[in-house]
Structure 1
Amino acid sequence: MEAEIRAQIPGIDHVVSEYSAEYLNHASQLYTSDADANGQSPLDEAAVTISTLLASASGDLSDQNATTIRNLVEKFISRLSAADGLDGERRQMASTARKLDHAIQVGAQRNVSSTMGLTGGIVDLESANTRKVESRVDRKKLEKAEKKIQAKQDRKVMKNVEYEASRLLDQPDEAMSYEEFFMQVNPLQMGADQASKSKDIKVEGVDVSIGGKRILTDTTLTMAFGRRYGLVGQNGIGKSTLLRALSRRELPIPTHITILHVEQEITGDDTPALQAVLDADVWRKHLLSEQEKIVRELAELEAQRSSMADTSKDAEKIDKQREGLDASLSDIHGKLSEMESDRAESRAASILAGLGFSEERQHFATKTFSGGWRMRLALARALFCEPDLLLLDEPSNMLDVPSITFLSTYLQSYPSTLLVVSHDRAFLNEVATDIIHQHSERLDYYKGSNFDSFYATKEERRKTAKREYENQMVQRQHLQTFIDKFRYNAAKSSEAQSRIKKLEKMPHLEPPESEYTVHFKFPDVEKLSPPIIQMSNVSFGYDATKGPLISHVDLDVQLDSRIGIVGPNGAGKTTVLKLLIGQLQPSAGLISQNPRLRIGFFAQHHVDALDMNASAVTFMARSYPGKSDEEYRRHLGAFGITGTTGLQKMSLLSGGQKSRVAFACISLTNPHILVLDEPSNHLDIEAMDALSSALRAFQGGVLMVSHDVTMLQTVCESLWVCDRGTVEKFEGDVKAYKKRIQRQADEMGVVQRQK
C-alpha cells in the first residue's frame, strides 16, 4: 500500500506515506455496531482523513489531483474490506435487518405484534405505562433553540464550503486584465449620496479556511475609516490569506468602499512608468474617456440644433438628448473633481520620486525594470489610486531605507483606511494607529497602539490571564479537595454541598496560550588568524561601457565585526557582498581572505536555492549528508521549524518558514563569517528578535545588508553607506542616517516646487 502511495505521489515524505498506510490498516481492524450520525464506519472516516492528508502532502490542491487520490484510497478501502474477517458476519446481520413498511407511533399503538421481539404474545403498552410523567421541557423554547443552533451550523457549513473551494487558492483569471479585475472588485459609484455612506467596516461571524487549514473562526473584523491598522502575528498564521480574502471581496465589504491590494509585481510592457501609475486609477481613465466622448456628442448635437427651428419636434428631441448628456457630464466632472484629476500627473511623479524613481527613469518602459522595481511600481499605483481600503503585505521587503522613510512619512497622512502586514517594528511604530493581533483563529484589537505599546499591553494581558487562571485552579483544587474529603460525612455534608454550588458557579477560564518563542543558534567558531577578509581599492562594473558600479572600496571584516551596509536600491550593496564571497571578481583592486575561512551566505532570494518539492528534512539530508532524520529535525527545531513542519513540502511553507530553513542549512556549514542579504525579509517579529539575539551571540563576524532599522540598531556596531559608486563608513547610527535622508528629501522637494 505504501509503495502505491509513493508511486502516485513522487517525493512524498516516507513518514507521511507510512503513517497513511498504517492508519488505514488500523481502521480496518475496528468495528462498531452503530455508525456515527453521518452513517460512517471507522474505515470510512479514515478514508476521508487520509485523502485530505495525501492531497495536502502532494502540494497539488487541484480538484483533479484530489479525485485521483480519493480513487486510490477507495481502492485500498475495497481491498481491506474484502480481507476483513468480519465481513460475513456483517452481511448476515444486514440480511436480518428489515426496513418497516411504514412508521409506527409506539405511544399511540394499543397492540404491538411480536415482531418487536419482546414476547411471543400481545403486549398492551398503554396498560404497562400505568404511571405517566409529564415532560417539564418547554417545547417551544426547545424548538426555537434547536432552530437557532441549526441555522448557525448551516452558516458555518456554507462558509467553510465557500472558502475551501475559494478563489484564494487560485490567482485571478489570467484572461482578466488589471482593468477588468479592478472594475469588477470596485464598481463605480456615481451620485452625491455615495459621499454620505459610512466607510467603516464591520464583518461579524468571519470563518476562513484554506487548504483544509482553519485561519479564522467566528471572529469579527472591525476597521474604522481613516485609521491605520498594523496586522501582526506569527509566520503561517494566515495574515496574507486574510488580505487576499478582503481584496477579492470574499468577505462582505460594502461595494461603495474601494479596495486595492499590493501583492504582485506589474506586468512589464512598453508603457512608461509614469503612465502606468496614471493608468492604475481605472475609473479616472474611464471617466476621462467618457468625458471626451460626451463633449464630442454635445458638439455634434449643437451643430444639428443650430439649423433647426425652436418649435420643431426634432429640436425638442435634441434638447432632451442634450439635457441628458449635460447631466452625465456634470456627474463626471463632479467625480473627477473628487478624484483631484487635475493634480494626477504631479502627484504620480512625486510618489515615484519618493520610491526611488529618478525623473529620467519615470519615462522608462515598465519592461525595462527588474522584479523588485516593478513591485515598487505596483506600490506607487496603489498609493496613487488612494482607495478607501489600502492593503499592503510586507511593503518594506521590496524597499531600501530611503524608500521606507518616504513610505512611512507618506502613510502617516493617508486619508483613508490602511491595513498593513509588517514585521518591521520601526515602520509599525511610525505608521500604525491601531494593532490587530491575529492568533488562535481570532483577531484581537489594540486601539490607539503602535507596535511597542501593543507588545507591552499584550504581554501584560497574557501575564494577567495566566495569574487569573492559576489562581482559579488553586481555588478549584482547594474546593474539590474539601468536597472529596467530606462529601459523605454527615457532619460536614452541608458544607460540602455549599462548596459544590460555589464550584459550579465559578466562571470557566480557558488556559492561557503558551508563550510563542523562537530560538536561533549558530555553532561555535574556531579562531582564525587575520586577515579574515579584506577589500583593497576594489572597483567593479557589470558593463564596461557604462563605467564601474562601485570604485575604490576598502573594507575589512574580522571575526568580531558587526557591519551593516545601507543605501538606495541599485547602488551596489548586493554586489559588494558577492565580491566578498567570491561570486564576482573585481575589475580592479584586491580581495584577500584566510584560506581556511568558511562563509555562510544568506541570499535575498534564498528560495531559489531550496527544492520546493522536497521536505526540509529530505533537502538537508541530500544537501548536507551524514546525519539521521531525527538529528536534522532537531537541528531545524533550533530555528523554529518544529513538529511535522520539517516533513511538509517546502512549497507549503510560508516565506518566514522557508527563511528559517535557509538559516538552518547555513549553520550546518559551521561558518566563520555570516554574510546576510536582507535576512529579515518574511520573518515574523519573534523570529527577527531570535535572529538578532543569535547574531549578537555568534562568535564569528557578521556583515549584513538590511532595511530593517531595528535589526541594524540591535546587531550592527558600524554602519557603511553604499551610494553614488562608493562605500563609506557613516559616523552615526541608523536614526541619524534616516534624518539625513529625510533632510535630503525635503531639500529635493523644495527644488521641485521651485521648478
Structure 2
Amino acid sequence: MIRLESIGKQNGKQIVFIEASAALQKGEKIGLVGPNGAGKTTLFRMITGEEQPDEGQVSVDRGIQIGYFSQDVGEMAGRSVVAETMNGAGPVSELMAEMRVLEADMGDPDKADEMDAIIERYGEVQARFEELDGYSLDGRAREVLDGLGFSQEMMDGDVGALSGGWKMRVALARILLMRPDALLLDEPSNHLDLESLIWLEAFLKNYSGALLMTSHDREFMNRIVNKIVEIDAGNLTTYTGDYEFYQQQRAIADKNQQAQFERQQAMLAKEIAFIDRFKARASHAAQVQSRVKKLDKIDKVEPPKRRHTVAFEFRPAPRSGDDVVVIKNVDKAYGSRTIYDGLDFHVRRRERWCIMGVNGAGKSTLLKLVAGDSKPDNGTVNVGASVKMGYFAQHAMDVLDGDRTVFQSLEDAFPQAGQGPLRALAGAFGFSGDEMDKKCRVLSGGEKARLVMALMLFDPPNFLVLDEPTNHLDIATKEMLINALRQFEGTMLFVSHDRHFLAELSNRVLELTPEGVHTYGGGYSEYVQSTGQEAPGLRS
C-alpha cells in the first residue's frame, strides 16, 4: 500500500534519513519507534505529501485514503463537537454538505430552470451517501466520541469552548470516524484517560485497515502492533512482533554486533602490531604490503549505537513519621457538583497509592488537597510529622522561568550543589551537551516535564505526590523514572494512565466511584485481577 524506497532527507544540518526503506502493507499494524528528534513526524509528513524526500521516493497505491492524526490539531470553533467530528469524516461529510446545498437549491424559485439537473445530481449524491452508510454518521460519530470520554452534553456543546486536550480528542475522533484505508497516528495515546485509552486499543485492534503509529505507552503499543519499524541514525529497520519482542531482538542484535566488533578489533590490533613491527625490515616487505592491502579491503564492523540513558539514584531521604497523610470527613464541591462527601483516607509510611477513577471523579482534586493547593469545604487534611513533600502537577511546568537555561534552572534551585552533580542530574533526565543551554521557553512538553522532575527529585522528598508524571515522557525516560522510583524509600500517592507505570510502582489502590470509595490492599495488578477490569469506568 505504502512504500518508502531509499529515502534521503536532511533538515538544515541534521541528516534525518540515509537510503532508508520500509513498507506498510494492507492489514499491518506497525509501531514506529526511535528517540525524540529521530524523524518520526517527518516520516508521517512525507507519506501524506506534506514534505518531500530529498532522494528516493514515497509511493502510495492509487485510491488509498490516508487518515493522519498529528499533535497539531489546528483551529476549531463555531460548530458543535459532533458536527466538527462529522465534518472531518472524509467523503461522507462532503456528500452531506453537498446534499444540504442541493436541498436549498430545490427550494429556490430562482433556480427553476436548473431544477432537472439539480434533482438528478441530488439523486446521484444521495445514492452515494446511502452507499457509504451516511445516514448513520451522526450515531457513529457519537459512538466514537463516547468511547473517547465525551458526555452527550459535551457532544452537543461548542467545540471552541474545549481545552487543548479535548480538542485533540475531537481531532482523533474525526480520523477514526473516517475509517480510511491507512491510519497514521502520531501519539494518539496522549491526553487520554485510562478508559478512553482502553477503548481506543479495542477500536484499533478491530480496525481492518493498515496502521502506522507512534506511542510513548509501551502497554498500548504491545497490544496493538504486529511489527516495529525503528528509526535509528537515518536508517529504518523492521522487526516482526510487538514492542516487547522488538526490545528482546534489539538487545540480542546489539550483543551480537558488540561481540563481532570486539573480535574484529582484536584481529585488527594483531595485524597493525605485525605491520608496525616489521614495516622497516626488507625481508618482510611483501608480507607487510599484503597485510596493508588486506586491511584496506576489510568492511569495518561498527559498535552498536549506545542508547544514552543515565540511571538516576535517589540520595537518602529523611525518614517521615508513620502517618504521612490523614484525611477525615472531607467534603469538597465545585459549584453544584459534589466531589467528596465525608471522605476518610489514611496514607502510611512507604505505602504507594495509585488513585483510580473516571474523569471528574476527583483524582487530581485529592492530590491538590494533600499538597495544599486546594482546601476542603469541611473536614481536615493533616500531613504528618517530618513529611517532606514533592508535588508534580501539570501546572508546575508553567512556572519555569523562560529566560533561564536548563542548567541555570538547576543552579538556581541548588546553588550549593556544584557543577558535577548537577550535570549528572541533567544527564539522567535526558539533558546532555548543548541541551543544557536551552532556554526553558523553547523546551517541548516532555523536556519541561523532565526538568521539573529533576528539580523535584534532586533534594529528595520522602513523600511524592504525582499527577500524571509520565504524560509527556518517551518510553526510555519513563523506564528510567520507573527504575528510579522502584528504589525510592519513601511514600507515594499518584495518578497515572500508564498501566506499566501503575503495575510497577503501586502497592495500594484507592478507587473513587459515584457509589463511594473502595480501597485495595495490593497494587494495580491485583486490582485488575480482583475487579476483572483495567479501569473503573469499564466495570458494568
Q: Which residue of 2 aligns with 1:650?
A: 440
SS of match in other structure, 2:223: helix
Paired with 1:597 and 1:401, the residues of 2 have a C-alpha distance of: 30
Structure 1 residue corresponding to 2:129, chosen from 336, 359, 366: 336
Q: Which residue of 2 aligns with 1:600?
A: 390
Structure 1 residue corresponding to 2:494, chosen from 676, 680, 704: 704
Q: Which residue of 2 aligns with 1:262?
A: 70
SS of match in other structure, 1:511: coil
| Contact residue 429 and residue 450 of structure 2 kept, 8 A | yes
| Contact residue 550 and residue 725 of structure 1 kept, 8 A | no
| Contact residue 356 and residue 403 of structure 1 kept, 8 A | yes
Paired with 2:373 and 2:322, the residues of 1 have a C-alpha distance of: 22
| Contact residue 519 and residue 687 of structure 1 kept, 8 A | no
1:460 has 2:252 as partner? yes
Paired with 2:531 and 2:440, the residues of 1 have a C-alpha distance of: 37
Structure 1 residue corresponding to 2:333, chosen from 516, 520, 541: 541
1:573 has 2:363 as partner? yes
Paired with 2:255 and 2:380, the residues of 1 have a C-alpha distance of: 56
What code does the residue aligned with 1:377 have? V
Structure 2 residue corresponding to 1:740, chosen from 525, 533, 537: 533
Report % sequence identity. Answer: 29
Return the TM-score normalized by structure 2: 0.87
Paired with 1:687 and 1:538, the residues of 2 have a C-alpha distance of: 36
Q: Mapping of 1:651-670 within 5 angstroms?
A: 651-670=441-460
Q: Mapping of 1:87-102 within 5 angstroms?
A: none
Post-superposition shift, 1:325? 7.9
Q: Which residue of 2 aligns with 1:693?
A: 483
SS of match in other structure, 1:249: coil
Paired with 1:649 and 1:227, the residues of 2 have a C-alpha distance of: 41
Q: Which residue of 2 aligns with 1:220?
A: 21
User: Which range is displaced more, 501-510 or 608-617?
Assistant: 501-510
Q: Mapping of 1:103-182 within 5 angstroms?
A: none
Paired with 1:223 and 1:737, the residues of 2 have a C-alpha distance of: 40
Paired with 2:457 and 2:504, the residues of 1 have a C-alpha distance of: 21
Residues 381/461 of structure 1: CA separation in 2 closer, same or farther (3 Å cut): same
Q: Mapping of 1:10-159 within 5 angstroms?
A: none
Paired with 2:75 and 2:297, the residues of 1 have a C-alpha distance of: 63
Post-superposition shift, 1:684? 1.8
Residues 218/334 of structure 1: CA separation in 2 closer, same or farther (3 Å cut): farther
SS of match in other structure, 1:467: helix
Structure 2 residue corresponding to 1:676, chosen from 466, 471, 490: 466
Paired with 1:267 and 1:410, the residues of 2 have a C-alpha distance of: 26
Residues 508/623 of structure 1: CA separation in 2 closer, same or farther (3 Å cut): closer
| Contact residue 538 and residue 590 of structure 1 kept, 8 A | yes
Greater per-residue helix proportion: 1
Q: Which residue of 2 aligns with 1:230?
A: 31
1:274 has 2:76 as partner? no
Post-superposition shift, 1:492? 4.5
Post-superposition shift, 1:525? 1.0
| Contact residue 277 and residue 381 of structure 1 kept, 8 A | yes
Post-superposition shift, 1:259? 3.5
What code does the residue aligned with 2:372 have? G
Return the TM-score normalized by structure 1: 0.64
User: Which range is displaced more, 341-350 or 696-705?
Assistant: 341-350
Post-superposition shift, 1:221? 4.7
Post-superposition shift, 1:526? 1.1
Residues 686/741 of structure 1: CA separation in 2 closer, same or farther (3 Å cut): closer
Q: Which residue of 2 aligns with 1:484?
A: 276
| Contact residue 263 and residue 392 of structure 1 kept, 8 A | no
Consecutive unaligned residues in structure 1, runs of 5 or more: 1-198, 306-317, 748-755
| Contact residue 551 and residue 725 of structure 1 kept, 8 A | no
SS of match in other structure, 2:299: coil
Q: Mapping of 1:412-451 within 5 angstroms?
A: 412-446=205-239, 448-451=240-243
1:522-562 deviations in whole A, cap 9, x for unaligned?
Answer: 3311112232211122221121xx14212332222233111
SS of match in other structure, 1:395: coil
Paired with 2:108 and 2:498, the residues of 1 have a C-alpha distance of: 60
Post-superposition shift, 1:488? 5.2
Residues 516/444 of structure 1: CA separation in 2 closer, same or farther (3 Å cut): farther
Q: Which residue of 2 aligns with 1:139?
A: none
| Contact residue 321 and residue 386 of structure 2 kept, 8 A | no
Aligned residue pair count: 529
1:505 has 2:313 as partner? no
Structure 2 residue corresponding to 1:469, chosen from 261, 269, 272: 261
Residues 296/596 of structure 1: CA separation in 2 closer, same or farther (3 Å cut): closer
Paired with 1:402 and 1:235, the residues of 2 have a C-alpha distance of: 27
Post-superposition shift, 1:299? 9.9
Residues 245/625 of structure 1: CA separation in 2 closer, same or farther (3 Å cut): farther
Post-superposition shift, 1:268? 5.5
Paired with 1:360 and 1:627, the residues of 2 have a C-alpha distance of: 53
Residues 717/497 of structure 1: CA separation in 2 closer, same or farther (3 Å cut): same
1:93-133 deviations in whole A, cap 9, x for unaligned?
Answer: xxxxxxxxxxxxxxxxxxxxxxxxxxxxxxxxxxxxxxxxx
Residues 333/736 of structure 1: CA separation in 2 closer, same or farther (3 Å cut): farther
Residues 483/409 of structure 1: CA separation in 2 closer, same or farther (3 Å cut): same
Q: Which residue of 1 aligns with 2:198?
A: 405
| Contact residue 80 and residue 156 of structure 2 kept, 8 A | yes
SS of match in other structure, 1:430: helix
What code does the residue aligned with 1:261 have? F
Greater per-residue strand proportion: 2
Paired with 1:438 and 1:726, the residues of 2 have a C-alpha distance of: 47
1:284 has 2:92 as partner? yes
What code does the residue aligned with 2:349 have? L
Paired with 1:300 and 1:575, the residues of 2 have a C-alpha distance of: 56
Q: Which residue of 2 aligns with 1:56?
A: none
Post-superposition shift, 1:712? 0.8
| Contact residue 268 and residue 368 of structure 1 kept, 8 A | no
What code does the residue aligned with 2:369 have? L
Structure 2 residue corresponding to 1:532, chosen from 308, 324, 327: 324
Paired with 1:533 and 1:718, the residues of 2 have a C-alpha distance of: 15
What code does the residue aligned with 2:493 have? L
Paired with 1:475 and 1:240, the residues of 2 have a C-alpha distance of: 42
What code does the residue aligned with 2:20 have? T
Structure 1 residue corresponding to 2:314, chosen from 522, 538, 550: 522
Post-superposition shift, 1:331? 6.2
Question: CA-atom RMSD, angstroms?
Answer: 3.2
1:603-622 deviations in whole A, cap 9, x for unaligned?
Answer: 13442122233211222333
Post-superposition shift, 1:231? 1.7
Paired with 1:594 and 1:745, the residues of 2 have a C-alpha distance of: 35
| Contact residue 465 and residue 493 of structure 2 kept, 8 A | yes
SS of match in other structure, 2:422: helix
Post-superposition shift, 1:351? 0.9
Paired with 1:746 and 1:696, the residues of 2 have a C-alpha distance of: 30
Residues 599/650 of structure 1: CA separation in 2 closer, same or farther (3 Å cut): same
What code does the residue aligned with 2:181 have? D
Residues 500/685 of structure 1: CA separation in 2 closer, same or farther (3 Å cut): same
Paired with 2:454 and 2:130, the residues of 1 have a C-alpha distance of: 55
What code does the residue aligned with 1:700 have? G
Residues 663/737 of structure 1: CA separation in 2 closer, same or farther (3 Å cut): farther
Q: Which residue of 2 aligns with 1:178?
A: none
Residues 726/440 of structure 1: CA separation in 2 closer, same or farther (3 Å cut): farther
Residues 386/607 of structure 1: CA separation in 2 closer, same or farther (3 Å cut): farther
Post-superposition shift, 1:692? 0.7
What code does the residue aligned with 2:89 have? D
| Contact residue 5 and residue 19 of structure 2 kept, 8 A | no
Structure 2 residue corresponding to 1:386, chosen from 179, 187, 192: 179
Paired with 1:337 and 1:511, the residues of 2 have a C-alpha distance of: 59
Post-superposition shift, 1:337? 5.0
| Contact residue 396 and residue 707 of structure 1 kept, 8 A | no
SS of match in other structure, 1:553: strand
Paired with 2:530 and 2:282, the residues of 1 have a C-alpha distance of: 80
Q: Which residue of 1 aligns with 2:55?
A: none
Structure 1 residue corresponding to 2:146, chosen from 353, 358, 365: 353
SS of match in other structure, 2:349: coil
Residues 205/638 of structure 1: CA separation in 2 closer, same or farther (3 Å cut): closer
